[in-house]
Structure 1
Amino acid sequence: MFRKRNQNVVEAKGRIPYWIIAERLGVHENTIQNWMKQEMSRDREEQVLSVIAKIKEEIERKGDS
């Protein structure tokens, strides 16, 4: 079977839509989905994970309000 690529990004992303992540990174949603087809470089992975963490922080802050 196929080896799952970028599994740590998939797990961190959870239910956050790709379009929100893409918007924060300044790229098109399709770009993110294409990145997910191959193992990302360490720099790109860190960039995506950082954006996901910031989005989650915002979600938590809104939940605390």
Structure 2
Amino acid sequence: MLERNQDIRQLKKGIPNWLIAERLGIHENTFIRKLRKELPKEEKLKILAVIDELKQELGRD
């Protein structure tokens, strides 16, 4: 099975989906559904930035 948005999935390991969704201002289910299809570059960059922020705040690598 082809996994879409692999870069996001790998980077977010250890960070709950609900926390990322909350920071994006969307529901957790909406975030999970977004990952089903390859995201546009702009949206992907926004999500990756949120994940980086959360990693810094949580002290994760």
Q: Tell me the residue number matched to 2:17.
A: 18
Q: Tell me the residue number matched to 1:53.
A: 52
Output the CA distance in 2 between the equivalents of 1:60 and 1:37: 28
Which has more helix, going by share of residues? 1
Q: Tell me the residue number matched to 1:33.
A: 32
Would you identify which runs of 4 or more consecutive aligned residues in structure 1 move more than 6 Å? none
Aligned length: 60
Note the residue ranges of structure 1 that are not aligned, 5 or more in a row.
none
Flag the structure with larger Rg. Answer: 1
Provide the secondary structure at the position in 1 that maps to 2:59.
Answer: helix
Kindly, what percent of the aligned residue pairs are identical?
40
TM-score scaled by length of structure 2: 0.93
Output the CA distance in 1 between the equivalents of 2:7 and 2:53: 16
TM-score scaled by length of structure 1: 0.87
